[in-house]
Structure 1
Amino acid sequence: MCADLVFTDSPSAHGVTRLVARLWIPASLDTVFAFFAEPSNLEQLTPASLRFGIEQPGPLVMAEGLRIRYRLRVHGIPLKWESEIREWDPPNQFVDVQIRGPYRYWHHRHRFTEVDGGTLVVDEVDYAPPGGRLLDRIFIRRDLRRIFSFRMRHLVERFAVHGPRGCSTSPVPPPG
């Protein structure tokens, strides 16, 4: 499979959910990592309906310890979000964590691996939503599925993924 998007609940009592998104891209590891290493590209990977924007002036240089402040709207509600790059290991992976924002906990590991002449991009997001599991199941998973499906579709278009490795003509999961 060329792309998938899976949610799993942690057995812990802390209400942590894991989202895993995988997408194979027919481009070199260095090319794909360079795209993700540019903070301004996050705006391209976010649906316009969220009115996402980076608040601080650029250019920003990705490195361990970098903090990035964002603004966005979720269901019309304006939110502020601040992330910190906690791990930086080019071109293999990086981790961003929420310092301030809507989640009780957010840890996002971005992994990049050379596979079959291209790059496998794996997003692993561990999060604890506000409002607990009920709100997660009613709203948040649906919203995150929509956001990550949009992100995957954009990457498919950007890097011209045409169904390699046995994928269907539509290698991205539907947003619903």
Structure 2
Amino acid sequence: MSKVYSIKTIQKIPISLDAAWDFFSSPDNLQKITPNDLGFKIISKHHGNKMYAGQIIEYKVSPILSIPIYWMTEITHVEDKKYFIDEQRFGPYSLWHHQHHFKEIAGGVEMTDIVHYKLPLWFLGDVANAILVKNQLKKIFDHRFKKVEELFGTM
């Protein structure tokens, strides 16, 4: 059986909690902080402009050899200006649980992302994680970190 893996990133952003929440709780802004080579595109027609519990968002993403993959997430929990959680309903993972936390700090906001994920195919999922997935997810979160710095500055 394959393992459950996790990633945690923390970023301090020199903007108000309101500005951080407005930006990160808008599904349309996700594409702005996602690497272009992933071919990320929101395809859902009725996802709304702000996060809410029960919201379904559909994507196409091309992580390997430009082959498009369908991905559907549900926003399962939202506490205004504190956190929201998205969980994969259909897509490449056996488990995808992504927490987005926001905390006001002196001079800005501390944003914490925590992802728990599991790959299909038992031990082959573990091999795929070691060879490809872990590094690709690190690259995606490193890219997001840099894009957020470009958009809002550094602390």
> TM-score of the superposition, structure 2-length normalised?
0.92
Question: Unpaired runs of 5+ in structure 1?
Answer: 1-12, 165-176
Question: What is the CA–CA distance in structure 1 between the aligned matches of 2:107 and 2:73, rounded to whole Å?
Answer: 32
Question: What is the CA–CA distance in structure 2 between the aligned matches of 1:58 and 1:154, rounded to whole Å?
Answer: 27
Aligned-CA RMSD value: 1.3
Question: What is the CA–CA distance in structure 2 between the aligned matches of 1:139 and 1:70, rounded to whole Å?
Answer: 21
Match of 1:35 in 2: 23
Q: Percent identity?
A: 34
Question: What is the CA–CA distance in structure 2 between the aligned matches of 1:72 and 1:53, rounded to whole Å?
Answer: 7
Whether 1:149 and 2:139 are equivalent positions in the alignment is no
Match of 1:84 in 2: 74
Question: What is the CA–CA distance in structure 2 between the aligned matches of 1:51 and 1:156, rounded to whole Å?
Answer: 22
In the superposition, relative to structure 1, how do residues 45 and 58 fare at CA in structure 2: closer, same or farther (>3 Å)?
A: farther
Whether 1:65 and 2:54 are equivalent positions in the alignment is yes
Which of the two has greater helix per residue? 2
The structural deviation recorded for 1:132 is: 2.2
The structural deviation recorded for 1:56 is: 1.8
Map 1:5-154 onto structure 2 (within 5 A). Answer: 15-57=3-45, 60-61=48-49, 62-76=51-65, 77-130=67-120, 131-154=124-147
Question: What is the CA–CA distance in structure 1 between the aligned matches of 2:17 and 2:35, rounded to whole Å?
Answer: 25
Q: Is the 8 A contact 1:112 1:121 kept in 2?
A: yes
> TM-score of the superposition, structure 1-length normalised?
0.81
